[in-house]
């Protein structure tokens, strides 16, 4: 049997052979191994290994959800060089939704009943903490069946500062108002040298990790991201992955890892090139192979493009995110993907990759639909 498997794995990169042995035996890869993976050009061998792990964990299942993004404001005091979304308060294009407007926007769009609102926005200098508590409790009241995945660790830390509360108290209040889990944004790259340049005014990497730690302690699941393809190097990527893996060993609170390819258009880093398909696919494979304690690796179709996201389902990813409906952060930065995809289009992408589409809720419970209703299996 081992012989047959060995036969199926072929590589012209001798450095990958010992990694093959480790992956097959379920032995954790080291930081050094992760670096070797990044340095290899044998994308098919990396894909074979990542796919092996992906199928060991999930078989043919590939997950998606029916969700809607809500970005209540793009006003932001952080002025990150990586970002094309944030605006100064009085700058052209700056917006802040009144609560009624945010609640209405949640209801608009596709007719398919959403199971998740993904809520993130800028760090607004004046909006009080109560605005966010009211936003969340108002959504919960109007859409009690919808999971609220809201506020990155960066937003939580900013709200805590503004409300003069600890991170723990802030998260407790958000949870009591109706926040069910947290998205993975704002992690960027933890390495200080890079973080200083791409997002100087955000909390640092250790504060991001500490906020996630507290969220997990409070029973709030979260995701984690890594922004790649700008000025970081392979060592920075490995450092980021290892820090996430170490925290996950402690809390088991992360559900999904989402590598995010940098989109340079309209950012102060617009001179940088876009990532290549090779790098995007390799990043998915390395993520699956190194983050052995993360249940899911998401290839976010909005950012990867539907075509790369689909191929990723054979290179380590088991999730392609959801319908989204209205995406702003990537489109401000030059993405030419659609604003949203219908449920049936996601199903088609997955089926054509030879995978079994599983509609999930945010906590990865299967969702079954009739024409007008849906049921979540618990």
Binding site for ligand V47 (CB under 6 A): 82-84, 152, 183-186, 188, 223, 225, 227, 258, 260, 262-263, 267, 300, 321, 329, 333
Of the candidates 287, 285, 278, 284, the one whose C-alpha atom is nearest the C-alpha of residue 301 is 284
Complex with ligand V47: residue 80 or 167, whichever CB lies closer: 80
What is the nearest approach in angstroms of ligand V47 to the Cβ of residue 191?
14
What is the nearest approach in angstroms of ligand V47 to the Cβ of residue 179?
13
What is the nearest approach in angstroms of ligand V47 to the Cβ of residue 171?
16
DSSP-assigned beta bridge partners for residue 227: 260
What is the nearest approach in angstroms of ligand V47 to the Cβ of residue 266?
8
Residue nearest to ligand V47 (CB): 185
Complex with ligand V47: residue 33 or 239, whichever CB lies closer: 239
Longest dimension (CA), the chain: 66
What is the nearest approach in angstroms of ligand V47 to the Cβ of residue 184?
4
Of the candidates 170, 53, 254, the one whose C-alpha atom is nearest the C-alpha of residue 241 is 254
Q: Give all strands of the β-sheet with 356-359 in edge-to-edge order.
A: 319-322, 61-65, 356-359
List all residues 6 or more positions away from 376 whose beta carbon is below 8 Å from its beta carbon.
115, 361, 365, 366, 367
Residue with tokens 């069946």: 145
What does the radius of gyration of the chain's CA atoms come to, in whole angstroms? 20
Following CA atoms 86, 92, 98, 100 in sequence, which dihedral angle do they give, to the nearest 10 degrees?
A: -100
Complex with ligand V47: residue 267 or 323, whichever CB lies closer: 267
Complex with ligand V47: residue 225 or 248, whichever CB lies closer: 225
What is the nearest approach in angstroms of ligand V47 to the Cβ of residue 69?
8
Complex with ligand V47: residue 170 or 275, whichever CB lies closer: 275
Q: Where are the alpha helices (DSSP H) in 116-274?
A: 129-142, 153-163, 167-177, 192-198, 205-217, 234-251
In angstroms, the CA 60 to CA 62 distance is 6
What is the nearest approach in angstroms of ligand V47 to the Cβ of residue 211?
13
**What is the DSSP code (8-state) at residue 293?**
T
Torsion angles phi and psi, residue 149, rounded to 5 = -100, 100
346 touches 320 (CB < 8 A): yes
What is the nearest approach in angstroms of ligand V47 to the Cβ of residue 3?
40
Complex with ligand V47: residue 227 or 350, whichever CB lies closer: 227
Complex with ligand V47: residue 36 or 275, whichever CB lies closer: 275
Complex with ligand V47: residue 158 or 300, whichever CB lies closer: 300
């Amino acid at each position: 049997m081992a012989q047959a498997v060995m036969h199926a794995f072929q590589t012209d990169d001798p450095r990958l052979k010992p990694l093959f042995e480790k992956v097959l035996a379920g032995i954790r890869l080291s930081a050094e191994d992760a670096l070797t993976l990044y340095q290899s050009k044998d994308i098919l061998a990396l894909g074979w290994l990542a796919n092996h792990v992906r199928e060991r964990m999930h078989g043919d299942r590939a997950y998606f959800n029916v969700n809607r993004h809500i970005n209540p404001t793009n006003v932001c005091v952080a002025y990150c060089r990586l970002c094309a979304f944030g605006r100064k308060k009085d700058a052209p294009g700056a917006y802040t939704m009144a609560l009624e407007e945010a609640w209405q926007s949640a209801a608009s769009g596709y007719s398919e009943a959403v199971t998740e609102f993904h809520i993130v926005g800028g760090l607004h200098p004046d909006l009080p903490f109560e605005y966010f508590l009211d936003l969340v409790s108002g959504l919960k009241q109007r859409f009690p069946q919808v999971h609220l995945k809201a506020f990155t660790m960066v937003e939580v830390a900013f709200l805590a500062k503004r409300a003069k509360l600890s991170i723990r108290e802030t998260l407790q209040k958000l949870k009591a108002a109706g926040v069910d889990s947290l998205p993975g944004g704002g992690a960027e790259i933890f390495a200080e040298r890079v973080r200083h340049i791409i997002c100087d005014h955000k909390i640092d990497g250790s504060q991001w990790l500490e906020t996630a730690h507290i969220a997990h302690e409070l029973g709030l699941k979260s995701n984690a991201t890594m922004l790649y393809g700008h000025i970081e190097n392979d060592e920075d990527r490995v450092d980021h992955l290892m820090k996430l893996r170490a925290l996950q060993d402690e809390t088991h609170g992360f559900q999904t890892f989402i590598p995010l390819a940098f989109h340079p258009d309209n950012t102060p880093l617009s001179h940088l090139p876009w990532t290549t398909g090779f790098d995007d696919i390799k990043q998915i494979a390395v993520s699956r192979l190194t983050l052995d304690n993360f249940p899911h690796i998401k290839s976010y179709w909005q950012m990867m493009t539907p075509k790369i996201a689909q191929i990723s389902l054979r290179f380590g990813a088991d999730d392609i995110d959801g319908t989204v409906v209205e995406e702003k952060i990537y489109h401000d930065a030059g993405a030419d993907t659609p604003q949203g995809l219908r449920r049936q289009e996601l199903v088609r992408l997955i089926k054509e990759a030879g995978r079994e589409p599983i509609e999930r809720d945010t906590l990865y419970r299967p969702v079954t639909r009739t024409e007008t209703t849906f049921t979540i299996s618990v």
